[in-house]
Chains A and B, each alone.
Chain A
Amino acid sequence: QVQLVQSGAEVKKPGASVKVSCKASGYTFTGYYMHWVRQAPGQGLEWMGWINPNSGGTNYAQKFQGRVTMTRDTSISTAYMELSRLRSDDTAVYYCARGADILTAGTNWFDPWGQGTLVTVSS
């Protein structure tokens, strides 16, 4: 079955960077966009951007431009999201989620989602 498994929780100091991984299985990794979504404690969902695992192309939400970098390693079917210059308000659960088939690109929902990675930013 299609599954996304994320790396474990992280604690970082303000100003540091964090890199979260998302390992895909059960489908062709390079065939689907991978999105990243975050959720601050008690808050709603916030889309951060996507990566095309085939080409490496990215599209970031304006809010995170300049601070976020999404990459992938196709040899191990893993996507990464790195967020730099962390602030306390970056404390959140970060999710990866599979998006559209790259060839058809006709869908724009997210399914399935990874289990989430809690990133805590605290001095």
Chain B
Amino acid sequence: SYVLTQPPSVSVAPGQTARITCGGNNIGSKSVHWYQQKPGQAPVLVVYDDSDRPSGIPERFSGSNSGNTATLTISRVEAGDEADYYCQVWDSSSDHYVFGTGTKVTVL
């Protein structure tokens, strides 16, 4: 089955840029989606189709995808961005959906 690997944690100072990677075999050929999950809350979609943002999501959230790595970038990080972030793809070979292992973003 398809595997998505994320770093367990990323730490960033307020105002700086956080980059969260999502590694998978030839992930660049798939559409990658990203979710933010704050403690005790349901996940929220923040980026879809590699780099598009749903309405209401700040422009500070952006994404890219190429080769074997997709990246979620959070610019000008704020304290409210502290959360767990998950990448997700659809695996066409199995018609199953796969989540990454998750990354905890800590704002210093």
Contact = CB atoms under 8 A, between A and B. Distances in A.
B44 to A, nearest CB: 7
B99 A44 contact: yes
A113 B96 CA distance: 18
A45 B90 contact: no
A37 B102 CA distance: 14
A116 B42 contact: yes
Contacts of A46: 99
A109 B48 contact: yes
Contact of B43 (A62, A108, A113): A113
A115 B42 contact: yes
Given A45-B35, A97-B43, A113-B44, 13 more contacts: A44-B86, A45-B43, A45-B102, A62-B1, A62-B94, A62-B96, A107-B49, A108-B97, A109-B33, A109-B49, A111-B48, A112-B42, A114-B42
Interface of A: 35, 37, 44-47, 59, 61-62, 95, 97, 107-116
Query: How many interface residues does chain B have, given as a range?
Result: 20 to 34
Given A95-B42, A114-B42, A115-B42, A109 B99 contact: no
B88 A109 contact: yes
A31 B44 CA distance: 21
A106 B86 CA distance: 21
Interface string B65-108: 00000000000000000000010111000111111111000000
Given A35-B97, A45-B86, A59-B95, A109 B102 contact: no
A111 B96 CA distance: 17
A40 B73 CA distance: 27
Given A45-B86, A113-B43, A115-B42, A107 B99 contact: no
A45 to B, nearest CB: 4
A112 B33 CA distance: 13
